[in-house]
Structure 1
Amino acid sequence: MLRGSHRNCYKRARGQSSLRETFTKMPKASDNLWDIALAEVQKKENVDGKEDGDGVEIWERSVFFVGNKNGGKTTIILRCLDRDEPPKPTLALEYTFGRRAKGHNTPKDIAHFWELGGGISLLDLIRIPITLDSIRSFSVVLVLDLSKPSNLWSAMESLLQVTKNHVNKVIIDMGKKNSKIANEIKQKMWKSMQKDHPDRELIDPFPIPLVIIGSKYDIFQDFDSEKRKVICKTLRFVAHYYGASLMFTSKSEVHMLKTRALINHLAFGLEKSKSLSVDINKPLFIPAGLDSLSQIGSPSTSERDIGQIHARTPIELWKKMYERTFPPKNISDLKEVKDPARDPQYAENEVDMMRAQKDQELEQYTRNASKSWKGMELDVSGR
């Protein structure tokens, strides 16, 4: 599964000389394929330090996109980077980058964009981009497909839980090496929440900056108003509980401009918008820390319904109430996961010819082994 994805990452990195200054790590025996590819770029281009040819310091941030399969993650990334090209399906873990110069002879910013394909089928790959080296400047963008509300909670729950567990593990490892930095990361997420906010003791902020984007708003806006209300209130609660920003978007230029501004805040540290929209008849836009449980309200208008639900946590209560309106479908993201080794966008003559040869050898070995076993069975039966 990783072969095509990592090879694609390497080809991109090799063809973009502007990324030379970011590759400073020499390969070790424990390095994975991605680490080795980066080290190879460094060796071939004789890179030293973290400065470009003009000796200008470069600032870097990483943004990791996860979410529903075919939910629009690639489209958002391309539009944010002003790349006019049709989006291709993300098969595993994709990497690209954006670069922004603030002015003449001033620090240059680089943003590393990672995208996890396959919905929830490739959760193990989350550990690759989130490391001790990147954690201090790392952000997560969760893209949820509003047009498929029955698949929304399961994807959101799985992706957030696995990502959060891994981030916490990295922070613990960081604490063993540098407790000061680990504490800085832990305290950073409380900055968006005012000290006198009434919900400060009731929420559990995500360990690193998190943005939740509801995509395909153009389809969602035609839903029944009660269904839209349930989705909006539920996502508002989840975003507020995790100290995340929340926004709805579509492919329209107006919506994409707001999306791009929010992503640029994560990627390049640009000033974030202070606008606020909580009207269910309009796309939601709620920066982290600007919502409240009192404004969101309860997950159901009926106190009797809430009393019939047995839940141990607020998140569990909202989940059960949400799934009453949108029962989860038994459709797994694990189905129809394509083999990137056979995808034409990752074609490489020499590698593919060798792969075909090995496939033929394996097939021949299987046939020979099968004949041997049949022969042994005949010998046994003849005794």
Structure 2
Amino acid sequence: MPKISSDKLWDLAAAEVHSRETGGGEEDGRESVSERTVFLMGSKAGGKTTILLRCLDRDEPSKPTLALEYTFGRRARGHNTPKDIAHLWELGGGISLSDLVQIPITPVSIRSLSIILILDLSKPNSLWGTMENLLQAAQAQLEKVLSLTQQGQKTKSSTKHQTSGQPAARVLPKDFPDRELISPFPVPLLIIGSKYDLFQEFDSDKRKVVNKTLRFIAHYYAASLIFTSIKSDSLMSKTKSFFSHLAFGLDRGKTVSSDPTKPLFIPAGSDSFGQIGPPPATDVDITSRHVKTPKDQWKKAYEQIFPPENTNEQRELKDPAKDPRYNEPQIDSMRAQKDQELDQKKRNAAKSWKGLELDK
């Protein structure tokens, strides 16, 4: 991910403070700058950074995300108009760093926050675990922020200035399909199935299971679902349009495709449980197992076909002090000298203890 200069960060911070103080709207006859936040998370090495760079039209090589990285995008509405800003956060490490969701999900960002969950279609055995862990972590933080905000509202007098711009729980249209049977995610959610070029080589029966399961998950959370591949310009074009919709409020188009032989493209509210059908049939009678909800039933059925892999991902990342991207010759030489001094002290201490033991 590209580094952001301190000048640009200060400009963004100043714009954010100014926006909060003025409460948005127009000032001095000028259009206000729209600011949104998009938080990307998903499968480890699932293509998050590459997809983000393509959506931002940045022609630069992608690098592994160290932990949690920030960048931003700007888009002008027209000639001589202010540029809208999208604050973009990307979580690396798959599920191993899910605790970091508390950084991009805050009382300020939640007012205009969207989440993109990128799942690697070429690794179906880890797909459910990745989805479940990350969504649970994000939802817990979202509910915590909403709860704290509501408590803060109760302790303040209900003036227009104090209540304007406060975050509120997501509300679906009354005609949303299966509205009484789903559990909407607190903020707009987009699920992207990446590496479709590899996924389409799978056995057709296995593809159908993944397709139906992801359709169920997306509809259950009132989320949108699309499949993409960085090797397909047409799929990336559709992905970019949906990204621009979340980041800048642009039209996402009206394309809908639920054909299991083609890449899925299903905006929220375009599917239904009736169209998705029941969970995939398995040799084991899942109805006899202890399942409390339809989601649990789908999980049992999916894991019968795609047994989950070990989700205990290594939480230890590479030492950033040794990362060539952050070379600082003077600091690195001093660090090497201190490391040598530390090793020498350890050796001396070991000799002292051995000497004491010999005396005894």
Q: How does 1:359-374 map to 2 (within 5 A)?
A: 359-374=339-354
Asked if the contact 1:69/1:333 (under 8 Å) is kept, the reply is: no
Q: How does 1:1-383 map to 2 (within 5 A)?
A: 11-14=3-6, 17-24=7-14, 49=18, 57-178=32-153, 185-186=168-169, 189-191=170-172, 194-251=173-230, 252-301=232-281, 305-330=285-310, 332-334=312-314, 337-379=317-359, 382=360
Letter in 2 for 1:245: S
Deviation at 1:197, TM superposition (A): 4.0
Greater shift, 175-184 or 95-104, is seen at 175-184
Asked if the contact 2:97/2:315 (under 8 Å) is kept, the reply is: no
Matches of 1:148 and 1:371, distance apart in 2: 51
Letter in 2 for 1:238: I
Q: Evaluate the alpha carbon distance shift between residue 178 and residue 269 of structure 1 in structure 2; reply closer, same or farther with a 3 A threshold.
A: farther
Superposed CA RMSD: 2.6
Paired positions, count: 343
Matches of 1:358 and 1:316, distance apart in 2: 54
Matches of 1:364 and 1:129, distance apart in 2: 42
Asked if the contact 1:172/1:182 (under 8 Å) is kept, the reply is: no
Q: Evaluate the alpha carbon distance shift between residue 198 and residue 248 of structure 1 in structure 2; reply closer, same or farther with a 3 A threshold.
A: closer
Percent of aligned positions with the same letter in both sequences?
58
2:160 is aligned to none
Asked if the contact 2:33/2:82 (under 8 Å) is kept, the reply is: yes
Q: Evaluate the alpha carbon distance shift between residue 302 and residue 126 of structure 1 in structure 2; reply closer, same or farther with a 3 A threshold.
A: closer
Asked if the contact 1:204/1:243 (under 8 Å) is kept, the reply is: yes
Matches of 1:57 and 1:201, distance apart in 2: 38
Q: Evaluate the alpha carbon distance shift between residue 273 and residue 377 of structure 1 in structure 2; reply closer, same or farther with a 3 A threshold.
A: farther
Give the match's secondary structure for 1:263.
helix
Deviation at 1:125, TM superposition (A): 1.5
Letter in 2 for 1:351: I
Matches of 2:217 and 2:115, distance apart in 1: 15
Matches of 2:42 and 2:349, distance apart in 1: 44
Deviation at 1:331, TM superposition (A): 5.9
Asked if the contact 1:175/1:182 (under 8 Å) is kept, the reply is: no
Deviation at 1:272, TM superposition (A): 2.0
Matches of 2:53 and 2:211, distance apart in 1: 26
Letter in 1 for 2:205: E
Deviation at 1:139, TM superposition (A): 1.1
Structure-1-length-normalised TM-score: 0.82
Letter in 1 for 2:82: P
Matches of 1:212 and 1:365, distance apart in 2: 53
Matches of 1:351 and 1:116, distance apart in 2: 28
Matches of 1:72 and 1:301, distance apart in 2: 31
Asked if the contact 1:63/1:141 (under 8 Å) is kept, the reply is: yes
Asked if the contact 2:146/2:167 (under 8 Å) is kept, the reply is: no
Letter in 2 for 1:207: P
Q: Evaluate the alpha carbon distance shift between residue 335 and residue 22 of structure 1 in structure 2; reply closer, same or farther with a 3 A threshold.
A: closer
1:41 is aligned to none
Q: Evaluate the alpha carbon distance shift between residue 225 and residue 59 of structure 1 in structure 2; reply closer, same or farther with a 3 A threshold.
A: same
Asked if the contact 2:279/2:301 (under 8 Å) is kept, the reply is: yes
Letter in 2 for 1:297: G
Q: Evaluate the alpha carbon distance shift between residue 244 and residue 48 of structure 1 in structure 2; reply closer, same or farther with a 3 A threshold.
A: closer
Q: Evaluate the alpha carbon distance shift between residue 144 and residue 349 of structure 1 in structure 2; reply closer, same or farther with a 3 A threshold.
A: same
Matches of 2:126 and 2:164, distance apart in 1: 37
